[in-house]
Amino acid sequence: MKKPKRTNKACKYFPCHSKLQDCTFCYCPFYPCEDKKRGKYLAPPHEKIWSCKNCSWIHQTKIVDKIFDLIKKSGFEL
């Protein structure tokens, strides 16, 4: 059974990416990931700011579910 997307359409930043997404993690818990396939540092004078503008990885329901599974397996209670 496919799980529904957890989407907050009332958010003033919705959509933060181009497609409907899972908004469970409004901000990526892995920021800055420094994965050059997912983002990049901005040009001077902002070269210390990581841009995730083109990354929607954290907004995929299957990824959110995997992260929750890892949290549960670690023994951390939500």
Q: List the pLDDT tens digit at each of the 78 positions of the chain.
A: 566 668 888 888 887 777 768 888 888 899 999 999 999 999 999 889 999 888 889 988 899 999 989 988 998 776
pLDDT value of residue 11: 84
15: exposed, middle or buried (Cβ count in 10 Å: 0-12, 13-18, 19+): middle
- Picking from 25, 52, 21, the residue whose alpha carbon sits closest to that of residue 36 is 52
pTM of the predicted structure, to 2 decimals: 0.72
Listed by start position, the domains of the chain span 22-78
How far apart are alpha carbons 28 and 54 in whole angstroms? 13
How far apart are alpha carbons 16 and 54 in whole angstroms? 10
- Structural contact between residues 57 and 38, judged by C-beta atoms closer than 8 angstroms: yes
